[in-house]
Amino acid sequence: MSPRNAERDLRVREERVQLILDAAITVISSKGFGAASISDIAKAAGISIGTMYHYFSSKDEIFADVLKRGQLDYGKRAAELADEQTMPPLVKLHEFAAGWLANPINWAYTIMLQSARTTETVPAEIRQAVTDRFTANLQPIARIMKDGQGRGDIIAGDPLQLAFYYVSLIQGLTLQRAPGFEIPVSIDADALIRFFEA
Amino acid sequence: MSPRNAERDLRVREERVQLILDAAITVISSKGFGAASISDIAKAAGISIGTMYHYFSSKDEIFADVLKRGQLDYGKRAAELADEQTMPPLVKLHEFAAGWLANPINWAYTIMLQSARTTETVPAEIRQAVTDRFTANLQPIARIMKDGQGRGDIIAGDPLQLAFYYVSLIQGLTLQRAPGFEIPVSIDADALIRFFEA
Amino acid sequence: MSPRNAERDLRVREERVQLILDAAITVISSKGFGAASISDIAKAAGISIGTMYHYFSSKDEIFADVLKRGQLDYGKRAAELADEQTMPPLVKLHEFAAGWLANPINWAYTIMLQSARTTETVPAEIRQAVTDRFTANLQPIARIMKDGQGRGDIIAGDPLQLAFYYVSLIQGLTLQRAPGFEIPVSIDADALIRFFEA
Amino acid sequence: MSPRNAERDLRVREERVQLILDAAITVISSKGFGAASISDIAKAAGISIGTMYHYFSSKDEIFADVLKRGQLDYGKRAAELADEQTMPPLVKLHEFAAGWLANPINWAYTIMLQSARTTETVPAEIRQAVTDRFTANLQPIARIMKDGQGRGDIIAGDPLQLAFYYVSLIQGLTLQRAPGFEIPVSIDADALIRFFEA
DNA sequence: GATGAATGAGTATTCATTCAT
DNA sequence: TATGAATGAATACTCATTCAT
d(CA A110, CA A117): 11
Is C100 in the D-facing interface, judged by CB distances under 8 Å?
A: no
**C chain contacts of residue D192, beta-carbon cutoff 8 Å:** 165
Task: Compute φ and ψ for D58, nearest 5 degrees.
Answer: -160, 165
Count of CB atoms situated within 10 Å of the CB of C183:
19
Q: Averaged over C39-53, what is the pLDDT?
A: 96
Does the CB of C48 fall within 7 Å of any strand E atom? no
Q: What is the pLDDT along chain A (198 residues), one digit of tens a residue?
A: 455 566 777 888 999 999 999 999 999 988 888 889 999 999 999 999 999 999 999 999 999 999 999 999 999 999 999 999 999 999 999 999 999 998 878 888 988 888 888 887 888 888 899 999 999 999 999 999 999 999 999 999 999 999 999 999 999 998 887 777 778 888 889 999 999 998
Query: Has residue B2 got a pLDDT over 70?
Result: no
- B35/A135 Cβ within 8 A: no
CA distances from A131 to A110, A160, C126 (A): 13, 15, 39
- What is the distance of C-alpha C156 from the center of its chain? 27
pLDDT at D182 over 90: no
Backbone phi, then psi, for B197, in 5-degree steps?
Answer: -70, 140
Separation between Cα atoms, residue A141 and residue A147, nearest integer Å: 10
DSSP D86: S
CA of B34 to C1' of F14 (A): 25
Indicate the SS3 state at residue A103. Answer: coil
> Distance of CA B169 to CAs A173, A192, B139, B156, C44, Å?
8, 10, 17, 18, 59
The reply to whether the CB atom of residue C60 sits less than 7 A from any atom in nucleic acid chain E is yes
Who among B29, B113, B184 is closest to A135 (CB)?
Answer: B184
Q: Does C195 touch chain D (CB under 8 A)?
A: yes
Q: Which residue's alpha carbon is at the shortest distance from the C1' of E11?
A: C37
For A154, the 3-state DSSP assignment is: strand
Q: pLDDT class for D3, splitting at 50, 70, 90?
A: low
Q: What are phi and psi of D146, to 5 degrees?
A: -65, -45
CA nearest neighbour of D131 among C109, C177, C169: C177
Q: Which helix (H) or strand (E) holds D81?
A: helix D59-83
Yes or no, beta carbons of D175 and C110 under 8 Å apart: yes
- Domain residue ranges of chain B, discontinuous segments joined by +: 3-194
The bases of strand E with some atom under 7 A from any protein CB are: 1-21
Q: What subunits touch chain B, counting only 3 or more CB pairs under 8 A?
A: A
% of chain C surpassing 90 pLDDT: 68
Q: Does position B198 have pLDDT exceeding 70, yes or no?
A: yes
Confidence of residue C1 (pLDDT cuts 50, 70, 90): very low
The answer to whether A191 touches B165, Cβ cutoff 8 Å, is yes
How many CB contacts within 8 angstroms connect chain A with chain B?
147
Which amino acid would we find at residue D163?
A: A
The answer to whether the CB of A155 falls within 8 A of the CB of A90 is: no
The pLDDT of residue D165: 96
Tell me whether A109 touches chain B (CB under 8 Å).
no
The amino acid occupying position A25 is I
Q: What is the pLDDT of residue D1?
A: 46
Protein-to-nucleotide distance from the CA of D16 to the C1' of F17, whole angstroms: 20
Other CB atoms within a 10 A radius of the CB of residue D89 amount to: 22
Would you place residue B74 in the very low, low, confident or very high pLDDT band (cuts 50, 70, 90)? very high
The alpha-carbon gap from D54 to the nearest alpha carbon of chain C, in Å, equals 26
Please check whether residue B178 touches A, CB under 8 A: yes
Q: D169 to chain C: which residues are within 8 Å by CB?
A: 165, 168-169, 172
Q: Chain D contact for C86, CB < 8 A?
A: no
Does the beta carbon of C186 lie under 8 angstroms from any beta carbon of chain D? yes
> Does B86 reach chain A within 8 Å, measured CB to CB?
no
**How far is the alpha carbon of C196 from chain D, nearest alpha carbon, in Å?**
8
Above 80 in pLDDT, residue B108? Answer: yes
**Contact with chain B for residue A33, Cβ under 8 A:** yes
Q: Which helix (H) or strand (E) segment is D90 a member of?
A: helix D89-102
- Chain C interface mutation, best of D112, D125, D128, D169, highest count of C Cβ atoms under 10 Å: D169
pTM beyond cutoff 0.75: yes
Q: What is the DSSP string of B49-102?
A: HHHHHHH-S-HHHHHHHHHHHHHHHHHHHHHHHHH-SSS-HHHHHHHHHHHHHH
Average pLDDT of chain D is 91
User: Residue B168: which residues within 8 A CB-CB, separation 6 or more?
Assistant: A169, A172, A173, A175, A176
Q: Which of D29, D121, D21 is nearest to D62 (CA)?
A: D21
pLDDT at C46 over 90: yes
Query: Which residues lie below 8 Å from residue B144, measured CB to CB, with a gap of 6+?
Result: B81, B82, B89, B92, B93, B163
Burial readout B11-24 (b: 16 or more C-beta within 10 A, e: otherwise): eeeeebeeebbbbb
Nearest of B192, B148, B156 to residue A194 by alpha carbon = B156
Residues of B in contact with A127 (CB under 8 A): 178, 180-181
B59 touches strand E (CB under 7 A): yes
pLDDT score of D122: 87
- Are residues C176 and D194, on separate chains, in Cβ contact within 8 Å? no
The answer to whether D154 and D90 have CB atoms below 8 angstroms apart is yes
Q: Are B and D close enough to touch, i.e. 3+ CB pairs under 8 angstroms? A: no
Contact C36, D120 (CB under 8 A): no
Q: What are C106-145's pLDDT values in tens digits?
A: 888 988 888 888 887 888 888 899 999 999 999 999 999 9
Q: Does C169 touch chain D (CB under 8 A)?
A: yes
Is the model's pLDDT at C3 over the cut of 60? no
| C neighbours by CB contacts (3+ pairs under 8 Å) | D
Q: Are the beta carbons of C115 and D115 separated by less than 8 Å? A: no
Mean pLDDT of B36-41: 94
- pLDDT of residue B147 exceeding 90, the answer is yes
Please tell me which residue, A2 or B105, carries the higher pLDDT value: B105
B172–chain A nearest CA distance, Å: 4
Residue of A nearest to B35 (CA): A34
Minimal Cα distance from D192: which residue of C? C165
> What tens digit of pLDDT does each residue of C142-189 get?
999 999 999 999 999 999 999 999 999 999 998 887 777 788 888 889
| A37 interfacial to chain B (CB closer than 8 Å) | no
Whether the beta carbon of C34 falls within 7 A of nucleic chain E: the reply is no
DSSP three-state, residue D154: strand
Interface contact B32, partner A, CB < 8 A: yes
D117 CA to centre of own chain:
14
State which residue of chain A sits closest to B125, comparing Cα positions: A181
Question: Among C175, C177, C193, which would you mutate to test the D interface (most chain D Cβ atoms within 10 Å of its Cβ)?
Answer: C175
At A9 the pLDDT is 76
B172 contacts on A by Cβ (under 8 Å): 167-173, 175
pLDDT at residue number B12: 82
Q: What is the DSSP string of chain B?
A: --HHHHHHHHHHHHHHHHHHHHHHHHHHHHH-TTT--HHHHHHHHTS-HHHHHHH-S-HHHHHHHHHHHHHHHHHHHHHHHHH-SSS-HHHHHHHHHHHHHH-TTHHHHHHHHHHHHH-TTS-HHHHHHHHHHHHHHHHHHHHHHHHHHHHT-B--S-HHHHHHHHHHHHHHHHHT--TT---SS---HHHHHHTTB-
- Closest nucleotide to B51: CA versus each C1': F2
- Strand ranges, E, within chain C: none
Strand E-proximal residues of A, range 31-70, CB below 7 A, are 47-51, 53-55
- Asked whether residue C8 carries a pLDDT value surpassing 90, the answer given is no
What is d(CA B147, CA B196) in angstroms, rounded to the nearest whole number? 13
Q: Kindly state whether A39 is in contact with chain B, defined as any CB-CB distance less than 8 angstroms.
A: no
Residue C130 (CA) to nucleotide E11 (C1'), in angstroms, measures: 26
* Contact call for C185 and D31, based on CB within 8 A: no
Q: Nearest 5°: CA angle at D159, between D153 and D161?
A: 125
Reply yes or no on domain B3-194 having CATH 1.10.357.10: yes
pLDDT number for residue D196:
96
Give the closest-approach CA distance of B54 to chain A in angstroms. Answer: 26
| Nearest residue to B52 via CA among B64, B67, B62 | B62
Residue C96 has pLDDT above 70, yes or no: yes
C-D C-beta contacts closer than 8 Å: 146
- Cα C30–Cα C35–Cα C38 angle in degrees, nearest 5: 95
